[in-house]
Structure 1
Amino acid sequence: MSLSLAEKQSFDQQNAESFAERIGQILDSGAVAVMLSIGHRTGLFDLMARLPPSTSQRIASEAGLSERYVREWLAAMTTGRIVQYDPVRRTYALPPEHAACLTRGGALGNFAVYAQYVTLMGQVQDRTLACFETGDGLDYGDFPDFHQVMCEDSNQTVVAQLFDTLLPLVPGLRRRLEAGIEVLDAGCARGRALIAMAERYPRSRFTGYDLCADAIADATRNARTNGTKNVRFEVRDLTHFQERERYDFVVSFDAVHDQKDPQDLLRRLCGALRHDGVYLMQDIGGSAHLEKNLDFPMASLLYAISCVHCTPVSLGQGGEGLGTMWGWETAERMLREAGFAQIERHVLPHDPMNVWFVSRKA
């Protein structure tokens, strides 16, 4: 399409070429993200972190995978500056500084877990396009492997930090858990955090509710396998949650913004607490104001996940679709309007992406 004279006069060729270069880099990085997901799912990153510089044949053999596919993956990882290649020896190596954020148990966390969201978004693109046209929502069941990805995410952001960092946010809580109290996880998914607490504190009683039957089935199976008897899981639509003054401690880990009516849920959870009870809520720590999120960690990824998953899941339940980036300001206001009189907001140094609220009735 040709430009008009006025457009030609205002057109900055250097700026346009610079922007085109940036778009090319984004496309290249998107492809690398897909390959990161494959490296995580196949265990290739974990394997290479343990191996000395090795040929594609050895890496494939050790992994039990096809050498031709592994070699092509290694080429993508080399040009993506993830893996180092020695053209003389024809060996590949994953530097320990790279392994620190790409392996299970890595010193800096496992960012490859989040790469799986990129591949997940591609799998549901056609359904997302239909939502753009109709304004309809989606169901949790429309997302393949979603609970598996969320479980891995939760394992490193919640479960791994639970006893040393998160529970200490509530003074005196561990002593109460040791003595024996009632605990609820509202939106427990596969229940890894709840099972970990139940095993650590056998005198307390733990309940997990979630809308998704497959997640609850997995949680129940894991609890049974571990022989954890002081925890139970139940499929429950929290829209109809009615329990009153039953729990001493309630938690929600990255679950509230997906709900049909977050404000109503928070009101119900406040009512479910005993007078001296505490509510610990984790959610994404971005702002409700777009302009304040320009430098927020992985903001574009979070907005994209919101567009493809969190917003349509809420709309699919008949909700307003607040989305992933509903904002800590919104969360804090809703907690106050739900009846919580004391609200503390925490952002942890090792995890700038999430915000943690400790809330009490009085």
Structure 2
Amino acid sequence: MPKDRSKEDFQFKILSIYTGAVLTNLIQIGYETGLFEEAAKGDFTVEELSTRLGLSKRYLQEWLNAMAAAEIFHYNSEAKTYSLPQNRASFLTGEKAKNLCPHSKMLNSFGKLLPKLIRCFKEGGGIPYSDFRPEFTDCMDDVWRRIFDELLNDGFIGAVEGLKNRLKKGINVLDIGCGTGHATNVLAKKYPNSLFKGYDIAKDAIEKAKIEAKEMNLSNSNFEVMDVSKLPSKPKFDLITAFDTIHDQAKPLDVLRNVKNALRNDGIFLMIEFKFSSDLKNNLNNPLSSLYYGISLMHCLPVSIAEGGPGLGAMWGIEKAKGMLLAAGFTNVKLLDSPRPQNCIFVCRK
């Protein structure tokens, strides 16, 4: 049973939700103007920070006041200086995976499509993936780039015993739903004896993947626009990966069957998905549940449904995911923790 709340408590909860929505916009402003990076260098006045970044003093004043009121920044009322404590700055600055700023861009990007989502509530149907691009392509690249740089090899690949050694010796690897291809390119650079391929339905993402591969001087990675529901059974791959993509598919079961058929007999399929239950009651005490149900509603469901898909959503859950993998013909499905608390790794073999 839900906890009883007084009227005042519940009113404050709703206002806190609205506050969070506003602050999401302000975090994006801080991210894109370099405010967090500069603020992390030490105490400053409004005038000093305005001069250093060339930003409007009046707008900056209001932004800083909001940051201080939200207890993101510290304000010294006697010296009239602001500061961003280091233990907070680590979540708002730098190139590490724990920098949460890129998520603000992704969440704010959904706003422009809200009228179309409301229409879906009233009329059914979905929102084509093309309507989210190119902004969503860039947002997802920004969200995942640091994660792949820091955690991909040791955290995701390293979770599977012996996989690093196989990559060192040389195997054929495919990433489906590769987006801008950064995961593929990171691994291609790390394992020059292996051959890497990335497929995605988004042409703009594939073009960016190719550009990055060229900039990194990689000869062992290439990319193609591909609807993976039509993935052929040849060529065969030793490793196929899918990062946060199967739940968005219009034909997820077909995709998984195709993946199985495209694997060599000793091949491995790594499916990274969200670590939630298929049963709501098991998610109610997870502090991330409402966030990911919301993201699922605003993007994952309408993208799948627009193409006649089942609308699995990001929160389809471990139980449904494992059931679909077994239905696709995988006989050995193991669930592993990932380096991110909100994700898990399905290690699947024929």
Q: TM-score range by the shorter chain?
A: over 0.9
Do 2:148 and 2:182's aligned partners in 1 also have CA atoms closer than 8 Å?
A: no
Shifted more, 211-220 versus 29-38: the winner is 29-38
Alignment of 1:241-280 (within 5 A): 241-244=231-234, 246-280=236-270
Do 2:106 and 2:140's aligned partners in 1 also have CA atoms closer than 8 Å?
A: no
Letter in 2 for 1:155: R
Alignment deviations for residues 63-107 of structure 1 (CA, whole Å, 9 cap, x no partner):
23322222221111111110111223221110011112121235x
Equivalent residue number for residue 133 of structure 1: 122
Q: Does 1:238 align with 2:240?
A: no
Letter in 2 for 1:157: I
Q: Does 1:123 align with 2:112?
A: yes
Letter in 2 for 1:316: A
Deviation at 1:61, TM superposition (A): 2.7
User: 2-side partners of 1:299 and 1:115: how far apart?
Assistant: 17
Equivalent residue number for residue 93 of structure 2: 103
Do 1:245 and 1:274's aligned partners in 2 also have CA atoms closer than 8 Å?
A: no
Equivalent residue number for residue 10 of structure 1: none
Secondary structure of the structure 1 residue equivalent to 2:26: helix
Equivalent residue number for residue 315 of structure 1: 305
Q: Does 1:43 align with 2:34?
A: yes
Letter in 2 for 1:353: Q
**Structure 2 length as normaliser, TM-score?**
0.94
Equivalent residue number for residue 74 of structure 2: 84
Aligned residues: 346
Find runs of 4+ consecutive structure 1 residues off by over 4 angstroms: none
Equivalent residue number for residue 353 of structure 1: 342
Cα separation, partners in 2 of 1:239 and 1:81, compared to 1, 3 Å: same
Cα separation, partners in 2 of 1:249 and 1:132, compared to 1, 3 Å: same
User: 2-side partners of 1:114 and 1:261: how far apart?
Assistant: 27
Equivalent residue number for residue 8 of structure 1: none
Shifted more, 294-303 versus 180-189: the winner is 294-303
Structure of larger gyration radius: 1
Equivalent residue number for residue 305 of structure 1: 295
User: 2-side partners of 1:27 and 1:275: how far apart?
Assistant: 52
Secondary structure of the structure 2 residue equivalent to 1:158: helix
User: 2-side partners of 1:287 and 1:41: how far apart?
Assistant: 35
Q: Does 1:52 align with 2:37?
A: no
Alignment equivalent of 1:28, drawn from 19, 42, 49: 19
**Structure 1 length as normaliser, TM-score?**
0.91
Deviation at 1:152, TM superposition (A): 2.1
Do 1:210 and 1:235's aligned partners in 2 also have CA atoms closer than 8 Å?
A: yes
User: 2-side partners of 1:14 and 1:261: how far apart?
Assistant: 43
Cα separation, partners in 2 of 1:170 and 1:245, compared to 1, 3 Å: farther
Deviation at 1:245, TM superposition (A): 6.0
Q: CA RMSD in A?
A: 1.7
Letter in 2 for 1:37: Q
* Unmatched tracts of structure 2, length 5 or more: none
Equivalent residue number for residue 165 of structure 1: 155
Do 1:245 and 1:275's aligned partners in 2 also have CA atoms closer than 8 Å?
A: no
Cα separation, partners in 2 of 1:104 and 1:147, compared to 1, 3 Å: farther
* Unmatched tracts of structure 1, length 5 or more: 1-12
Cα separation, partners in 2 of 1:62 and 1:243, compared to 1, 3 Å: farther
User: 1-side partners of 2:332 and 2:82: how far apart?
Assistant: 54
Letter in 2 for 1:264: D
Alignment deviations for residues 338-357 of structure 1 (CA, whole Å, 9 cap, x no partner):
11111111123x52101111
Secondary structure of the structure 2 residue equivalent to 1:352: coil
